[in-house]
Amino acid sequence: MNQKISKINIIFYFIFLIAYFELLTKILIVKSASGLIYTTLFSIPLIILLVVITKLFNEKINKILTFILTLIITFFYCFQCIFFNLFSVMFSFNTIGLAQNIGEFQNMIWETIFKNIGVIILYLIPFILLIIFNKRLNFKRNHPKTSIVRLALAIIIYVICLLSLFFDKKELYGAYNLYYNINNEIKTVEKFGLATYMRLDIKRVIFGFEEQLITNNNVDPNKKDEEPNKPKEVTYNVTNIDFDNLIANASNNTIKNTLSYFQNTNPTNQNDYTGMFKGKNLIFILAEGFNMIAVDKDLTPTLYKLTHEGFVFNNFYSPVFLSTTGGEFQATTGLVPTQETLSLWKSNKPTITYALGNSFKNIGYNIQSYHNWTYTYYHRDKTMATLGFTDYTGCGNGMEKMINCAWLPSDIEMFNATLPLYKDKTPFTTYYVSVSGHAPYAYNSSGNSIALKNISLVENLPYSNSVKAYLATQIEFDRALEALIKALDEAGILDDTVISFVGDHYPYTLSVDEINEISTYQRDEIIEVNHSNFVIWNNKMEKPITINKVGSQIDVLPTLLNLFGVEYDSRLIVGKDILSDNPGLAIFSNRSWVSDYGTYNTGNFTLKEGKTLDNEDEYIKSMNNLVATNFTLSNNIIKNKIYDYIFK
């Protein structure tokens, strides 16, 4: 006689499903097993809710619901992992709408999916097991009273979860602050797990969220190092702002607190380089995918020339904040981006008074910007105006009449076609957003025609094909710079023109192992993978000027403003002039940081060789507070249109 096999309660399946996905997320994204207690606690109400939903109807419908919910949950966990691998940030629903025409990059999307096929398989395992063993699960309908009891239990456990947050209230990135006060995506995932992060993200997108400014630092990380025999008379980059009146008339506490912080923060000093390029023209380039690994004396001689003969920033970083748009926001505004900040930038359309175009327009410069791809991408048809570039041309509103805009356009063509439009309008500030260095890094005409164009120059190099394809795209940028310099010289304005550029981000579709094939030192995937160059070059500079202080993309704007003698208030920009005596700081999307004293990465601080700190714990706490404040300030400036309010 056959013995009837007892079926497994569906709750054990959902426990396995959520526990497996959360553990996999910690391994692949967080790379740490920390936060297991809160992740487990906050997962229990979700598991109970899933059980209730899949036990409401008859067996057939309950089984279908279980398959559907499993697929939905699998998609979101898998999507988040791939998104993080690509952009180094968690996906937020604020991201929706940031980019347009995403189908134009479908080759890159498919390449990313192919590279992460192993990750996709790992996330599909529960669904595969469900297909195989679903007949062993009990899908019978529960009595309504049972469902009600379970829902009540879920609510009780959820309340217990909320009460438990108070045990961790004092820590900056403790559970309480992450849940209620701080929008730190990766640390929220680390502390609570991905399911809770996504619930909080949806709630904050729908109902809004305001971070609180932290103003009670015990140690002032902005305190300048005292120099012997330094004159007491120092001129600062400040303007006359009646903060008291502005604060008194502010419409809400967020504006009041932001203005109060600005009023009490340290400005940066003017220095030996203030006004060094006063009156000269400026060509500033956001260079797609550029990183110092592309600089080679023989392969990219113009890049080598510009990175070795002008200002040489030895400790400069281009942190990834959601692809090109994050790099653009940092370099042109001096502010720290988040997905919410970038979304607000594109929808709120605030006037960013000290942005690159606005600052130079205000001193009488002729302003124009160019992009050799779709002019509406990342809503640049709106955001360029907030930066001051109302004269903006891209593919779709005029650039297509000057160059071949088919994927992938050439930077050489863009520079050659546009220089005649502004070379006689001196003094000028011209902003280029390049595209030739874009991924995917492969030799095929549909994926990357630029790499295919320059394949003969790299095919014999001892690197993997992806690395060689990347170098081939940077050769195009190198030759575009060569052509630009030559054309400026022929026009007789080379000596009076400063060329400056930064990469929008490192080539993040390359793996760290691939990047290390051509790096001069071993890089990690969080901090040093972002180590890059910031180029400021003029033909009349007699010798290179080496700067060892730490800097990053948010410091680009104030550094340029100081060099060109533009009047600005340094208190109102989060980034700081690298050439001032303010301490250096580079901030990354997961709120890790590099200072002149050391590196803080995922909770661990490494002191730089030759540096000492009297109180390392207090220094770390103070710097963490400053980093958190810089995120909040940047968001407040855009969300509440602070510049509009100050300068009316």
Whether residue 107 has pLDDT greater than 70: no
Instruction: Read off the pLDDT band of 232 (50, 70, 90).
Output: low
Instruction: Read off the pLDDT band of 322 (50, 70, 90).
Output: confident
**d(C-alpha 277, C-alpha 282), whole Å:** 9
pLDDT at 67: 98
Instruction: Read off the pLDDT band of 109 (50, 70, 90).
Output: confident
- Average pLDDT in the 527-545 region? 97
Nearest 10 degrees: Cα torsion 268, 274, 280, 282: -30
Q: Minimum mean pLDDT among 226-230, 248-252, 310-314: which range? A: 226-230
Q: Minimum mean pLDDT among 289-303, 340-354, 571-585: which range? A: 340-354
Whether residue 446 has pLDDT greater than 70: no
- Average pLDDT in the 558-572 region? 98
pLDDT tens for each residue of 257-266? 999 999 999 9
Q: Minimum mean pLDDT among 102-116, 212-226, 538-552: which range? A: 212-226
**d(C-alpha 607, C-alpha 597), whole Å:** 6
Extended strands (E) in 226-375 = 281-287, 311-317, 366-374
> Per the omega criterion (within 30 degrees of 0), is the bond before 613 cis?
no
Closest of 549, 466, 564, 554 to residue 515, by C-alpha = 466
Query: Which CATH number does the domain 243-647 belong to among 3.40.720.10, 3.40.50.720, 3.30.559.10, 3.40.1160.10?
Result: 3.40.720.10
Whether residue 226 has pLDDT greater than 60: no
> Per the omega criterion (within 30 degrees of 0), is the bond before 427 cis?
yes
Whether residue 218 has pLDDT greater than 60: no
Whether residue 130 has pLDDT greater than 50: yes
pLDDT at 51: 97
Q: Taking a C-beta distance cutoff of 8 angstroms, is the pair 402, 370 a contact?
A: no
Whether residue 220 has pLDDT greater than 50: no
Extended strands (E) in 299-449 = 311-317, 366-374, 392-395, 428-433
pLDDT at 80: 95
Closest of 154, 131, 127 to residue 52, by C-alpha = 154
- Average pLDDT in the 193-215 region? 91
pLDDT at 222: 45
Percent of the chain scoring above 90 in pLDDT: 85
- Average pLDDT in the 20-46 region? 94
Instruction: Read off the pLDDT band of 217 (50, 70, 90).
Output: very low
CA contacts within 13 A on the Cβ side of 107 = 15
Sign of the Cα torsion 454, 459, 465, 466 reads negative
Element (H, E) at 229: none
Q: Minimum mean pLDDT among 344-353, 380-389, 548-557: which range? A: 344-353
211 φ/ψ angles, rounded to the nearest 5 degrees: -80, 150
Under DSSP, the state recorded for 433 is E
pLDDT at 316: 98
Closest of 343, 329, 373, 371 to residue 108, by C-alpha = 373
Reading the block at residue 488, the tokens are 């400026």
**375 three-state secondary structure:** coil
pLDDT at 257: 95
Closest of 9, 10, 35 to residue 23, by C-alpha = 35
Across the beta sheet with 598-601, what order do the strands follow?
Answer: 585-587, 593-595, 598-601, 604-607
Reading the block at residue 561, the tokens are 């403003």
Instruction: Read off the pLDDT band of 70 (50, 70, 90).
Output: very high
pLDDT at 99: 61
Closest of 645, 628, 646 to residue 171, by C-alpha = 628
**d(C-alpha 300, C-alpha 37), whole Å:** 51
pLDDT at 103: 58
Whether residue 283 has pLDDT greater than 50: yes
358 φ/ψ angles, rounded to the nearest 5 degrees: -60, -45
pLDDT tens for each residue of 398-440? 999 999 999 899 999 999 999 999 999 999 999 999 999 999 8
**d(C-alpha 399, C-alpha 397), whole Å:** 6
Q: Taking a C-beta distance cutoff of 8 angstroms, is the pair 357, 380 a contact?
A: no
**d(C-alpha 284, C-alpha 535), whole Å:** 9
**d(C-alpha 42, C-alpha 226), whole Å:** 49
- Measuring CA to CA, how many Å separate 26 from each of 21, 195, 265, 609? 9, 12, 38, 32
Instruction: Read off the pLDDT band of 456 (50, 70, 90).
Output: very high
Q: Considering the chain, tell me which residue range(s) the CATH 3.40.720.10 domain(s) occupy.
A: 243-647
**d(C-alpha 230, C-alpha 621), whole Å:** 30
**d(C-alpha 294, C-alpha 234), whole Å:** 40
List the alpha helices (DSSP H) in 363-464: 380-386, 411-422, 449-453
Q: Taking a C-beta distance cutoff of 8 angstroms, is the pair 563, 499 a contact?
A: no
pLDDT tens for each residue of 481-521? 999 999 999 999 999 999 999 999 999 999 999 999 999 99
Q: What is the CA radius of gyration of the chain?
A: 27
**d(C-alpha 87, C-alpha 73), whole Å:** 21
pTM of the model: 0.93
Average pLDDT, the chain: 93
